């Protein structure tokens, strides 16, 4: 196909990328660790970590994992927030020749159990704050090895120990837990993070045999069947995404000069594909990241931003909006901010205008998915105003607007946005039918987004083909909510939709038909609190005598989106 959008590329942006320049993602990481050994890679709570230390720690943890006899490609889960241990664990798993399974630390026991069982993870690296959730499900999983970290493990000897004590005993943020030492497969190894580092330091990390076609990440995303699916991302996919982002961002970063000076703000969770890809890009540059463990604490977040110049601020629309509402944020020095990258959810023109007015840096909207390593399209980073589109395909990517049969439509016609490129996943883990349905005959991945491309190559999303709800950049699938809420005592049937929300973009609304007339809204809310991660919980609950259905009995969610007559 003709890439007519290339004429719109900013000057100097490459038209393609070559992931073959590296033999694996491990090679990319190790090159950067060696080149920038003395430079900082992250700062968290004002405690710094260098590339040399990241090299040392990840080598030790990787060697410890290898010492457990895991086969090449074994899945290792990581259940950590934005703290230095995440970068160490991610690099360790990749360097040791295994597959990273990123897990949302706020998952409920039900959600965690599904992901661990579906991925077949044999090991997990987890923060002790969430170990009580693991305790509930561990005996129903294939886990053989558990590494438990404390918050202060890599934040300095004295400060780290004090912080761990404060979190455990003063703030009481670590619920009690007891992880069993035996499991279905026999003896189970359970060690502290620091113990694993110490034991691994006595071993030598063996070079992995991973290639560009080996699996680097299983990145879980929502499933139309109500269960999350693991997008299979190879080393080639991830490297391509890093190089595509690097090429696209280069015009903005010319202002900084030496990329080692770049301070990228990591407020979005690193287990999410958006932040994960940008963190790997910062590592390639030899830049450093400011790790924000709790971005919901806006005053503390702003205090962190005050401490030093920052250059790259990726966020979802809701986070940009929350920062703008903080009076202290408006007083910050934005003279070094060269990129405000919006993604994960639709950007609002009102928020974009206000952001530009306050910071002088345009909010640049992009689009991507877990299945595409977060990379798909982006507006040019030298733009000075909000376009209302998701921009142009990045280097090496083809975008086609297709009909139901997979035929490409003419420019200006509305259809499903489909994507092809070196960053696009190989398929869904152990789900051949879902994988087959995800791709067209000519190799494009169906995204479920409905859009239109203009004559310049800019694409605008006009609707979502899927019933997915997008809450603050996180995918929420109605079928998962309905499957869960249907188990609530007193619920006969239910349906979930997304409704507009000023803060989150969309919020979840659930319609419930009762089997028990005494069932109350607070009963449903309490059940959701116990069984669903925070962003999946309904903000609105409405009881109905019946739900609209098709002739074959399928609940019509589209009818629920139309207000009921009074």
**Shared domain check, 149 and 62:** yes
Cα–Cα distance for residue pair 5/18, rounded to 1 Å: 20
Task: Tell me 11's DSSP state.
Answer: T
**Shared domain check, 192 and 43:** yes
Residue 459 lies in a domain: yes
Q: Is 100 helix (H, G, I), strand (E, B) or coil?
A: strand
Q: Using 50, 70 and 90 to split pLDDT, how confident is the model at 189?
A: very high
Cα–Cα distance for residue pair 22/339, rounded to 1 Å: 27
Residue 497 lies in a domain: yes
Q: Is 392 helix (H, G, I), strand (E, B) or coil?
A: strand
Q: Kindly write down the DSSP assignment for every residue of 17-77, as one continuous string.
A: --GGGSS-HHHHHHHHHHHTTTSEEEEETTEEEEHHHHHHHHHHHHHHHHHTTPPTT-EEE
What's the mean pLDDT in 180-190? Answer: 80
Residue 317 lies in a domain: yes
**Shared domain check, 240 and 104:** no
Cα–Cα distance for residue pair 418/447, rounded to 1 Å: 6
Check residue 223 and give its pLDDT.
46
- Rounded to the nearest 5 percent, the helix, strand and coil shares of the chain are 35, 25, 40
Per residue in 226-263, pLDDT (tens digit) is: 578 999 999 999 999 999 999 999 999 888 989 999 99
Residue 429 lies in a domain: no
Check residue 551 and give its pLDDT.
46
Q: Is 191 helix (H, G, I), strand (E, B) or coil?
A: strand
How many of the other CB atoms lie within 10 Å of CB of 356? Answer: 16
**Shared domain check, 35 and 13:** no
Residue 179 lies in a domain: yes
Q: Which of 159, 194, 210 is the last residue of a domain?
A: 210
Q: Using 50, 70 and 90 to split pLDDT, how confident is the model at 484?
A: confident
Residue with tokens 């345009």: 362
Q: Using 50, 70 and 90 to split pLDDT, how confident is the model at 224?
A: very low
What's the mean pLDDT in 106-134? Answer: 96
**Shared domain check, 165 and 256:** no
- Count of the separate structural domains present in the chain: 3
Chain mean pLDDT for the chain: 92
Check residue 563 and give its pLDDT.
64
* Closest C-alpha among 95, 121, 117, 119 to residue 214: 95
**Shared domain check, 253 and 205:** no
CATH number where 508 lies: 3.30.300.30
What's the mean pLDDT in 535-545? Answer: 95
**Shared domain check, 507 and 413:** no
Structural domain that includes position 525: 469-560
Per residue in 2-53, pLDDT (tens digit) is: 899 999 999 999 999 999 999 999 999 999 999 999 999 999 999 999 999 9
Residue 250 lies in a domain: yes
Question: Does an H or E element contain 436, and which?
Answer: helix 432-438
Asked if 232 and 427 count as a contact pair (C-beta separation under 8 A), the reply is yes
Per residue in 491-505, pLDDT (tens digit) is: 888 889 999 888 888
Cα–Cα distance for residue pair 261/323, rounded to 1 Å: 24
Cα–Cα distance for residue pair 354/219, rounded to 1 Å: 33
For residue 552, pLDDT over 50 is answered with no
470: which strand partners? 475
**Shared domain check, 508 and 376:** no
Asked if 193 and 176 count as a contact pair (C-beta separation under 8 A), the reply is no
Residue 264 lies in a domain: yes
Per residue in 132-178, pLDDT (tens digit) is: 999 999 999 999 999 999 999 999 999 999 999 999 999 999 999 99
Pull the structure tokens for residue 220: 């879980």
Least confident window among 124-133, 414-423, 557-566: 557-566
Check residue 381 and give its pLDDT.
93
First to last CA, the chain: 52
**Shared domain check, 484 and 445:** no
Q: Kindly write down the DSSP assignment for every residue of 328-360, as one continuous string.
A: TGGGS--TT--EEEE-SSPPPHHHHHHHHHHHS
Per residue in 285-344, pLDDT (tens digit) is: 999 999 999 998 999 999 999 999 999 999 988 788 889 989 999 999 999 999 999 987
CATH number where 384 lies: 3.40.50.12780
Question: Does an H or E element contain 365, and which?
Answer: strand 363-367
CATH number where 155 lies: 3.40.50.980
Cα–Cα distance for residue pair 201/224, rounded to 1 Å: 44
Sheet strand arrangement including 215-221: 189-192, 145-149, 123-127, 75-79, 99-102, 215-221, 229-234, 427-428
Q: Using 50, 70 and 90 to split pLDDT, how confident is the model at 347?
A: confident
Pull the structure tokens for residue 104: 């949302």
CA dihedral sign, ordered 55, 58, 64, 70: negative
**Shared domain check, 149 and 187:** yes
Pairing verdict, β 505-514 and 491-501: antiparallel
Q: Give the CA distances from residue 245 to residues 3, 252, 285, 503, 539, in Å, rounded to whole numbers and listed in that order.
A: 18, 12, 11, 28, 35
Residue 427 lies in a domain: no
Residue with tokens 């609530």: 488
Entry pTM: 0.86
Cα–Cα distance for residue pair 273/565, rounded to 1 Å: 41
Q: Kindly write down the DSSP assignment for every residue of 113-129, as one continuous string.
A: HHHHHHHT--EEEEEGG
**Shared domain check, 77 and 192:** yes
* Closest C-alpha among 220, 240, 265 to residue 533: 220
**Shared domain check, 80 and 14:** no
Pull the structure tokens for residue 434: 């879902």
């Amino acid at each position: 196909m003709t890439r007519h959008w290339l004429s719109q590329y900013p000057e100097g942006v490459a038209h393609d990328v070559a992931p073959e320049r590296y033999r694996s993602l491990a090679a990319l990481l190790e090159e950067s660790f060696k080149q920038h050994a003395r430079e900082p890679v992250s700062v968290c709570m004002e405690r710094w970590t260098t590339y040399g230390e990241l090299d040392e720690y990840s080598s030790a943890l990787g060697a410890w994992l290898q010492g457990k006899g895991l086969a090449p490609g074994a899945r290792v889960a990581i259940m950590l927030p934005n703290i230095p241990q995440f970068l160490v664990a991610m690099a360790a798993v990749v360097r040791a020749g295994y597959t990273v399974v990123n897990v949302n630390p706020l998952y409920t026991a039900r959600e965690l159990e599904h992901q661990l069982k579906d991925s077949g993870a044999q090991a997990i690296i987890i923060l002790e704050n969430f170990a009580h959730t693991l305790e509930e499900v561990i005996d129903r999983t294939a886990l053989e090895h558990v590494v438990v970290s404390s918050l202060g493990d890599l934040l300095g000897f004295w400060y780290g120990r004090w912080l761990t004590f404060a979190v455990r005993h003063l703030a009481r943020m670590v619920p009690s837990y007891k992880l069993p030492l035996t499991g279905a497969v026999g003896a189970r190894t359970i060690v502290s993070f620091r113990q694993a580092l110490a034991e691994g330091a006595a071993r030598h990390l063996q070079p992995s045999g991973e290639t560009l076609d080996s699996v680097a990440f299983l990145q879980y995303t929502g499933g139309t069947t109500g269960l999350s699916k693991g997008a299979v991302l190879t080393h080639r996919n991830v490297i391509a995404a890093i190089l595509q982002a690097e090429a696209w961002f280069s015009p903005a970063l010319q202002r900084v000069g030496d990329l080692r000076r770049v301070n990228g703000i990591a407020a979005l969770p690193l287990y999410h594909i958006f932040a994960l890809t940008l963190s790997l890009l910062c590592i390639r540059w030899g830049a450093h990241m400011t790790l924000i463990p709790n971005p919901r604490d806006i005053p503390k977040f702003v205090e962190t931003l005050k401490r030093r110049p920052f250059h790259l601020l990726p966020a979802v629309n809701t986070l940009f909006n929350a920062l703008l509402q903080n009076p202290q944020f408006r007083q910050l020095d934005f003279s070094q901010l060269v990129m405000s990258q919006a993604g994960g959810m639709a950007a609002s023109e009102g928020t974009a205008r206000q952001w530009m007015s306050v910071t002088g840096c345009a909010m640049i909207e992009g689009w991507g998915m877990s299945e595409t390593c977060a990379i798909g399209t982006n507006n040019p980073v030298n733009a000075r105003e909000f376009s209302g589109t998701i921009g142009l395909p990045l280097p090496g990517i083809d975008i086609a607007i297709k009909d139901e049969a997979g035929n490409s439509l003419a420019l200006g016609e509305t259809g499903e946005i489909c994507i092809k490129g070196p960053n696009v996943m190989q398929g869904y883990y152990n789900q051949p039918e879902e994988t087959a349905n995800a791709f067209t005959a000519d190799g494009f991945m169906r995204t479920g987004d409905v859009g239109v491309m203009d004559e310049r190559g800019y694409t605008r999303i006009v609707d979502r083909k899927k019933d997915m709800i997008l809450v603050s950049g996180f995918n929420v699938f109605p079928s998962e909510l309905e499957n869960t809420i249907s188990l609530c005592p007193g619920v006969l049937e239910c349906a979930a939709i997304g409704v507009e929300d000023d803060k989150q973009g969309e919020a979840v609304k659930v319609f419930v038909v009762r089997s028990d007339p005494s069932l109350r809204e607070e009963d449903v809310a309490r059940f959701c609190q116990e069984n669903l991660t925070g962003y999946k919980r309904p903000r609105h609950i409405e009881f109905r005598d019946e739900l609209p259905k098709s002739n074959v009995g399928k609940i019509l969610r589209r009818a629920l989106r139309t207000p009921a007559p009074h």
